[in-house]
Amino acid sequence: MVYNRFMDLEEKETMTVISKLYLETSVVSMYYSDDDLYKRDLTQLFWKEVLPHFDTYISGFVIDEIEATEDPDLRKNLENLVRGFNILEITENTLKLAELYLSYRRLPRMDARHIAVASLGDMDFLVTWNLKHLYKRGTQEMVREINTRLRIPIPIIVTPEDFLEEEV
């Protein structure tokens, strides 16, 4: 449903807006990881409790990284995990924007590409477990500065944990 000023008050109150969420590969991979059980459990809870409330996207970058998984059973599990998600198109503008990010901040090229595809795909959130490069204040400030200057959407970079309520 699209909001418009001609709707009556009752229609406006019952209207829900579904946010768009981009899953970066580290979140997908963490679902089956044995390296960090806490993050794995949070990721599985996020999948069950949070994802159903969002319009969820991945990109060809995520698919490429899944396809590069050496373990054939794990690769199949990851492919099944993302089956049915929307796939963002990788364009020349995606690659150019990623290069612009790289000219401002030292990041792995693939991380810059994930940010670029999420930005140009008009995502509300980019969800990552990449705490070393993506989930950094400096990275978020750089994205905000560049995207504001270019007048393109600014995805909020978050972890799955950010969506889960704290226990009291």
- Pairing of β 86-88 and β 55-59: parallel
Burial class (CB in 10 A: 0-12, 13-18, 19+), 98: buried
Domains of the chain in sequence order: 18-161 (3.40.50.1010)
- Which of 22, 28, 143 shows the shortest CA–CA distance to 88? 22
Smallest Cα–Cα separation from 20: which of 81, 104, 112, 87? Answer: 87
pTM for the full model? 0.86
Number of CB atoms found within 10 A of residue 147's CB: 19
The predicted pLDDT at position 168 comes to 44
pLDDT value at position 167?
53
C-alpha dihedral, 9 to 10 to 13 to 18, nearest 10°: -110
pLDDT, residue 4, reads 35
> Quick one: pLDDT at residue 16?
61
Q: Give the number of other Cβ atoms within 10 Å of residue 136's Cβ.
A: 15
Percent of the chain with pLDDT over 90: 84
Report residues of the chain scoring pLDDT below 70. 1-17, 166-168
pLDDT at 166: 58
